[in-house]
Amino acid sequence: MFPRKLTFLIVAALSFCIVFTPLAPVALAQKKKAPVEATPPPLKEDFKFGDVDLEVLEQADLLDVRLERDGLVLADESANAYVRRIGRSLIPQGLELERVSWRFRILRDPQPNAFALPNGSIYVTTGLMTLIDNESQLAAIIAHELTHVMRRHTYVHNRSNRKKFMTMNVMAAVGAYAPGGIVGAVIMVVTTVAPFIMIATIYGYSRDLEREADLKGIDMMISAEYPPEEMVNVMKLLDKDFEGENIRLFYNDHPSLDERIKYLSGYLGARADKVTPQMELHRERTAYFQNVEPVMRHDLQLAINAGRARSALYLAQRLVDFHADSENLFWLAESYRTLGPRAPQLTEKELTNSAKKDAAKKSLKRTAEEEERELLATPAGKDNWQRHQQMAEDLYRRALNAENPAPVVHRGLGMLYEKLERRTDAAAEYEKYLELSPSATDRARIQRRIETLKEKLK
């Protein structure tokens, strides 16, 4: 049993922590009530670098090197230059930020995402660039990320987290030496519950920063003469869930998309003086697609590799609607071929949170091939498979009949015929592909397939 005086001290210390640190639920509630219009200035001018911040900066620089070294950055100079131009146009003229060197890069990742490192590196994924409709939406994303850097959000967040972790550890220590009796039980309860409150405040803090980045992003778009309502439209696009993977968790570092759309619309209502005419947006969309078409094709390959066939199908269809050339038709055909027995869209039931959780658990238990086999054993799966293979074949044929047919179309047809067990046709298509693309990087793979097919034909 602890002496009475010590017990009193422990309880007093705990009460102090709970009342005077930001983990108090009261503080949380107050944060949420902050008025939307009260946005801070674009820069955090009073920010002074400390040792902890310099450590974070060093990690960020190393991360840049790692992403580049690991082949995750898209080495497409014209696409990177395009993103760079948009980024530069958003930065206020003459702005010099201590220890920030602006870099805008495209990350080879089919998941729609973007992030900023505190050293000024802004990354936008190929998945995001393929999903959005126009340059203004890309500007909206970049403006949001620029705000994170300009307002030093990473450092602010890191400093705040460190304080909270420290409090959490002190509480754990106090909890471990809690006395018995009612006081001990109270301390145990407080020290057990506190980490949860702490985690909530950590993520709550992050949500506030995200909100700030959204609102400051709108201001930056207006300054750079981009239609600010595209910030809301890009949120709506991000709400699309083709693969059923956006699972809502209790803790989330971003406000919900509904909430974001709501407060952005509210903010915009007071500031936007015009809504861009449809025709202007359409022109912008065409220009955007022309600029990023190679990125979109690259992303389709990544999406197919990652088993994101439904996303690939949606994105490839958009690409074909824009420009039905041989290569784009090929990507649509590839999407149908890899979709196989899966339905092209998830049903409403499959898009519920519990269904998504179940699907995530199930996907851990089986490989893509096993999933395909299971689906093929069902009448709906068989039906889908036949329809999609037929669609794929028709599209490959269209791609071959288009102007300047791409050699890869033969490879796609070869793979389709191989699956359909039309071995002679498959081998012929593969040979045609290698004849037209003698220096293809997948030559060894296709050569092996031809050999295997010929062995089976003997």
Span interacting with other proteins, options 55-63, 222-230, 242-250, 341-349, rule CB under 8 A: 55-63
N-terminal to C-terminal alpha carbon distance within the chain: 86
Span interacting with other proteins, options 4-12, 35-43, 131-139, 298-306, rule CB under 8 A: 298-306
State the DSSP string of 107-139.
Answer: E--SS--EEE-TTSEEEEEHHHHHH--SHHHHH
Q: How far is the CB of 430 from other proteins (least distance, A)?
A: 12
Rounded Cα distance between 201 and 25, Å, is: 8
Closer of 252 and 305 to other proteins (Cβ): 305
Rounded Cα distance between 266 and 63, Å, is: 37
Q: Does 364 bind other proteins (CB under 8 A)?
A: yes
Q: Does 258 bind other proteins (CB under 8 A)?
A: no
Site mask for other proteins (CB under 8 A), range 366-385, x = bound: xx-x----------------
Q: How far is the CB of 346 from other proteins (least distance, A)?
A: 20
Q: Does 456 bind other proteins (CB under 8 A)?
A: no
- Residue closest to 136 by CA, chosen among 49, 226, 74: 226
Q: How far is the CB of 7 from other proteins (least distance, A)?
A: 18
In the list 19, 95, 172, 377, the residue contacting other proteins (rule: CB under 8 A) is 172
Q: How far is the CB of 312 from other proteins (least distance, A)?
A: 15
In the list 13, 19, 173, 457, the residue contacting other proteins (rule: CB under 8 A) is 173
Closer of 281 and 434 to other proteins (Cβ): 434
Q: How far is the CB of 64 from other proteins (least distance, A)?
A: 10
- Residue closest to 198 by CA, chosen among 228, 160, 255, 234: 160
In the list 62, 185, 247, 275, the residue contacting other proteins (rule: CB under 8 A) is 62
Torsion sign over Cα 39, 203, 262, 141 = positive
Q: Tell me which residues in 67-96 interact with other proteins (CB under 8 A).
A: 70-72, 75
Q: Does 51 bind other proteins (CB under 8 A)?
A: no
Q: How far is the CB of 122 from other proteins (least distance, A)?
A: 19
SS (H, E, C) 159-173: HHHHHHHHHHHHHHH
Query: Residue 322 corresponds to which tokens in the numbers above?
Result: 């824009």
Asked if residues 91 and 58 have their Cβ atoms less than 8 Å apart, the reply is no
Span interacting with other proteins, options 2-10, 20-28, 159-167, 420-428, rule CB under 8 A: 159-167
Q: Does 63 bind other proteins (CB under 8 A)?
A: yes
Please name the residues in contact with 181: beta carbons below 8 A apart, sequence gap of 6 or more: 1
Alpha carbon dihedral 368, 369, 370, 374, in 10-degree steps, equals: 100
How does DSSP classify residue 73?
Answer: B
What is the size of the binding site for other proteins (CB under 8 A)? 38
**Computed over its alpha carbons, how large is the radius of gyration of the chain?**
27
Q: How far is the CB of 172 from other proteins (least distance, A)?
A: 6
Q: Does 163 bind other proteins (CB under 8 A)?
A: yes
Site mask for other proteins (CB under 8 A), range 181-210, x = bound: ------------------------------
Site mask for other proteins (CB under 8 A), range 425-454, x = bound: ----------------xx-xx--xx-----
**Beta 121-125 vs 114-116: how paired, if at all?**
antiparallel
Q: Does 455 bind other proteins (CB under 8 A)?
A: no
Site mask for other proteins (CB under 8 A), range 17-46, x = bound: ------------------------------
Phi and psi at 179, nearest 5°, equal: -75, 175
Closer of 161 and 246 to other proteins (Cβ): 161
Rounded Cα distance between 436 and 382, Å, is: 34
Rounded Cα distance between 251 and 255, Å, is: 10
Helix (H, G, I), strand (E, B) or coil at 19: helix
Q: Does 6 bind other proteins (CB under 8 A)?
A: no
Rounded Cα distance between 423 and 456, Å, is: 8
Q: Does 13 bind other proteins (CB under 8 A)?
A: no
Q: HSE-up of 431 (CA within 13 Å, CB side)? A: 11
- Residue closest to 131 by CA, chosen among 277, 263, 235, 254: 235
By the criterion CB under 8 A, which residues form the site for other proteins? 55-56, 58-59, 62-63, 66, 70-72, 75, 108, 161-166, 169, 172-173, 176-177, 302, 305-307, 364-367, 369, 441-442, 444-445, 448-449
